[in-house]
Structure 1
Amino acid sequence: MSNSNKVKEYYKKMSLLYDSDLLKNDPEFMDIFNNFAFDEVLSQDDLDDKTRFMAILSALIGCQGIDEYKIMLSVSLELGVTPTEIKEIVYQSTAYLGIGRVLPFLKATNEVFEEDGIELPLQSQSTTTKENRREKGSQVQMDIFGEHMKDFWKSGPEESKHINYWLATNCFGDYYTRTGLDNKQREMITFCFLSAQGGCEPQLISHAVANMRIGNDKEFLINIISQCLPYIGYPRSLNALNCVNEAYKNIK
């Protein structure tokens, strides 16, 4: 099996090198993967390249695919994903994966940016202060999940209610309030973080519902799962699909 014309065209579009070690040492595998990922999968829907590669980058962070992330990061820059959008993806992933898993991706991003002559640090995207981050974070929670989130920050048992407070102030107040990505994009990448790392099905259902509430409908989420499947595999993709179907029952 050899690479299809569509694969070759997309490789040119992405400026990937044909003489990589894998192409020399594992040509049969590369034929299988490339024809699937860059022909069959790309032909499945009409997502624009920016959305497609924002999802792929997010999924690769979620599944800890650092080597593939570096490749797709360079591709994403060529296909119109801005440095600011990429940095916002990496920053927000910290709320869902923790710094222990995100730090290598932040360092890799800086390395690629510096190699490409992108001046660091980038322009600030922050819109909150220490004094208003809880209020603004709660507002984003309400905008995405609904009015029932208004006082969620002070709910829960006394010994653990501080975590709900942190969700409002840190997860949403520090990250979601930033410019660079809108709420639909932020919920889409969160969906990718959760589906790619696995074991987060309750949260994944909740965020699938949130995606649908703000306009990322069921068809869109299935398209996102489809585009991420070559990078995260079938089990986690099928789990994500089950979560979308469950969420759809709740949103109807």
Structure 2
Amino acid sequence: MNSAPDTVTSDNRYERGLAVLRQVSGTDRPAVLESLVDIAPDLARYTVEFGYGDIYSRPGLTLRERQLANVAALAAIGHAAPQLRFHLAGALNVGCTRREIVETLIQVCVYAGFPAALNGLTAAREVFETRPAATEATPSRACVPGETTTDRYRRGLAALTEIDGHVGEQVIASLRDIAPDLGRYLLEFAFGDVYSRTGLDLRTRELVTVAMCTALGTVAPQLAVHIHGLLNVGGTEDEVVETITQMVGYAGFPAALNGITVARTVFAERAAAGSAG
């Protein structure tokens, strides 16, 4: 885990944060600073010092991963369109591809619904259209000719088992007595259709899902499942903590603190299981 040394001054934090903000914004004079100078200059300073100097500058995630996490979280919460557009552009500025961004926004539909994903894609289209020179195909996984619902179910079950293991299987089992069709849709659509798409690896899909579930703030059981999932597909405990910490700036301290509480429980469960094994 990382902690800031006591010798770091406000000037150090501001300069470090400004350097990162310039990378993300793609300009030497980020608009967020200009927009606050006449009404809340201290908030502009906090944004640079804390948001970018403290949080973004931590070594636990790459800038690409931080930007995809932000895009997922902002699209999921659905009430920060200007900031979503800023971070969509920022994702391109730090090397994310259009396809990775589109896949992240498709992932949103599983956790925040189709309206949130559709609104996110509308914002992405607006950002992409400002960069006509950066043409890049965003292909989707084509439907397989003759594919059946059974095929999708089997593919989804295989993906669920790889990502969430017994924790995911428990979720499906818990629905059998009350809503078995919901469990089937979860396998066929969420895992058979969405998670099985190309364009993002499973680790990145789980990382952005942890970000979404943290930012939403109302889905602690699902956050626990996907923390397990991120760890199952190659993520580390430090990366879980970094992803949740990143959400402080976009969903607030309560959401991040609640997310860390869930993570603590998951880590303890896995440690206990490892000791027992």
One-letter amino acid matched to 2:43 = F
Aligned to 1:122: 138
Residue 260 of structure 2 corresponds to residue 241 of structure 1 = yes
Aligned to 1:52: 66
* TM-aligned CA deviation for residue 102 of structure 1: 2.6
CA distance in 2, matches of 1:191, 1:23: 34
* TM-aligned CA deviation for residue 164 of structure 1: 0.3
One-letter amino acid matched to 1:215 = G
| Per-residue CA distance 1:121-153 (angstroms, 9 max, x = gap) | 722234756422211111100111226867976
Q: 1:221 aligns with which of 240, 260, 263?
A: 240
* TM-aligned CA deviation for residue 63 of structure 1: 2.5
Q: 2:230 aligns with which of 198, 203, 211?
A: 211
* TM-aligned CA deviation for residue 231 of structure 1: 1.2
Q: Alpha carbons of 1:216 and 1:127: their partners in 2 closer, same or farther (altered >3 Å)?
A: farther
Q: Give TM-score scaled by structure 1 length.
A: 0.90
| Per-residue CA distance 1:179-233 (angstroms, 9 max, x = gap) | 0011111111111111111110011111111212222121110011122211111
Return 196-205 or 10-19, whichever deviates more.
Answer: 10-19
Aligned to 1:10: 20
Contact 2:73 2:212 in 1 (8 A): yes
CA RMSD across the alignment? 2.5
Return 181-190 or 23-32, whichever deviates more.
Answer: 23-32
Residue 53 of structure 2 corresponds to residue 39 of structure 1 = yes
Q: Alpha carbons of 1:6 and 1:165: their partners in 2 closer, same or farther (altered >3 Å)?
A: same
CA distance in 2, matches of 1:120, 1:177: 21
CA distance in 2, matches of 1:228, 1:116: 28
Query: Aligned runs of 1:1-252 on 2, under 5 Å?
Result: 4-14=14-24, 15-16=26-27, 17-18=29-30, 20-64=34-78, 65-117=80-132, 118-119=134-135, 122-126=138-142, 130-131=147-148, 132-146=151-165, 156-157=175-176, 159-252=178-271
One-letter amino acid matched to 2:114 = I
| Per-residue CA distance 1:13-35 (angstroms, 9 max, x = gap) | 23244453224432221011221
Return 41-50 or 241-250, whichever deviates more.
Answer: 41-50
CA distance in 2, matches of 1:229, 1:151: 30
Contact 1:153 1:166 in 2 (8 A): no
| Per-residue CA distance 1:163-185 (angstroms, 9 max, x = gap) | 00000001111100000011111
Secondary structure of the residue aligned to 1:231 is helix
Equivalenced residues, count: 252
* TM-aligned CA deviation for residue 238 of structure 1: 0.4
Contact 1:126 1:178 in 2 (8 A): no
CA distance in 2, matches of 1:127, 1:151: 29
Return 4-13 or 214-223, whichever deviates more.
Answer: 4-13
Secondary structure of the residue aligned to 2:56 is coil
CA distance in 2, matches of 1:205, 1:154: 17
CA distance in 1, matches of 2:129, 2:54: 34
CA distance in 1, matches of 2:93, 2:71: 14
Any stretches of 5+ residues in structure 1 without a counterpart? none
Contact 1:209 1:250 in 2 (8 A): no
CA distance in 2, matches of 1:212, 1:10: 28
One-letter amino acid matched to 2:115 = G
